[in-house]
Amino acid sequence: MKITEVKCELLKMPLPRPMQSGSSSGVKGGPVGHIYMPLAVIRTDSGLTGTGYGWTLLGGATAIRCVIQDDFAPLLLGEDPLDNERLWTKLNKRLQSVGRAGVVNQAQAAVDLALWDIKGKAAGLPVYKLLGGMRESAPVYGSDGGWLYMSVEEMIDAFHEYLSQGMMGVKMKLGHEDPRVDIDRVTRVRKALGDQVWIATDANQKWDYPTALMVGRELERLGVAWFEEPLWCDDVPAHARLADALDIPIAMGETLGSRYEFDAYIRADAADILQPDICRVGGITEMVKIVHMGQVAGRPIAPHHMMESTIQVACGVMASGPIEYMPWVSGAFAEPMRLENGRMFPPDKPGLGLEIPEDVVRKFRVE
């Protein structure tokens, strides 16, 4: 089998609910209402086609498209699409001098997902079965209802909706200029939901060490499940100090770009819970390695975002651990993800099991 065509589309999708976090907001500081979704469509001489995607909120979307079209496509033509490990390495080495994270990784993820889609279709199996079929479903927590612009009452309503579906818990954002505002919001949510409800928090790299230490101690008092991205992601030593000083688990990884960056956190004991983002690390091929590293190191894995493709890894190689229910790109797909009693099931179709209808591409295409 040989690759005969690599095509890229770029979609601008409306978010189901506007988002605003400690590190992400609109041009004027308000909520963000759209997400960009670069698509890689790979066709073969066997008639099989694979589709993969990346995502970005605040920039770089057209750059990702250019990397796929101008840099990766020529390297892939004529190659065997089943050689995903070799092709991942080929692409990674070719552009590592200009981007070992960010734009290049997002482009690589779109290609990698498309290759795994082809591999699954060629085998007649869902990708999670190819990876190992560790389990048939994974628990989810609701993560699209705790944005900074939302009132406490709005968050509580959204959280009740998630919990009524049987989800294991909810996550809310931190990151106001005055951290006391965040502590008050968490306190009120905890009171409304009760002491037994699983609540996680995410600061999106907002604070310095003294502020994060103070907030972390308050979150411990409130029985919060984890304290996510409290500090700038490149500051491994500060995360190590914070993890040592606090009892609440430090969750980290959504902005890391490779297994080597995760390894630095593991070696420094700087993160208790690892959160790889399937698109930001370059796809399934790299994410599986990160999951195995975490398992060897005794670190729980709780993948970040992109649940439609992340579920393949979560069920393929993870024996436990949740995924994040964030339906940012759900509107692109022909069928919704199957969710029963708070657990998500991977599609049972060969490959990724995801179809993006042509009318969706036409409607949301960025020229």
CA distance 156 to 145: 8
Determine the Cα–Cα distance for residues 248 and 200; give it in Å rounded to an integer.
10
- For residue 235, how many other CB atoms are within 10 A of its CB? 15
Q: Between the CA of residue 247 and those of 206, 226, 270, what are the distances in Å?
A: 20, 10, 13
How many angstroms separate the first and last alpha carbons of the chain? 31
**Catalytic site includes residue 304:** yes
- Taking the C-alpha atoms of residue 38 and residue 68, their distance in angstroms, rounded to an integer, is 9
Point out the catalytic residue in the list 119, 129, 304, 305.
Answer: 304
Half-sphere exposure of 281 (CA within 13 A, CB side): 27
Output the CA–CA distances (angstroms, integers) from residue 274 to 146, 198, 295, 342, 367, in the order listed: 21, 18, 10, 22, 37
Q: Going by DSSP bridges, is the β-strand pair 338-340/343-345 parallel, antiparallel, or unpaired?
A: antiparallel
In angstroms, what CA-CA distances link 289 with 88, 283, 294? 13, 11, 9
> Which residues have a Cβ under 8 Å from the Cβ of 363 and sit 6 or more positions away?
none
Residue with tokens 């195995």: 292
Cβ contact 112:306 at 8 Å = no
Contact at 8 Å (CB) between 173 and 351?
no
In this structure, how many other beta carbons lie within 10 angstroms of the beta carbon of residue 197?
Answer: 16
- The verdict on whether 305 is a catalytic residue reads no
Q: Write down the catalytic residue from 171, 173, 206, 305.
A: 173
The residues that bridge with 56 in the sheet, in sequence order, are: 36
**Cα 329–Cα 332–Cα 335 angle in degrees, nearest 5:** 105
What gap in Å lies between CA 240 and CA 359, rounded to an integer? Answer: 48
Residues marked as catalytic? 173, 304
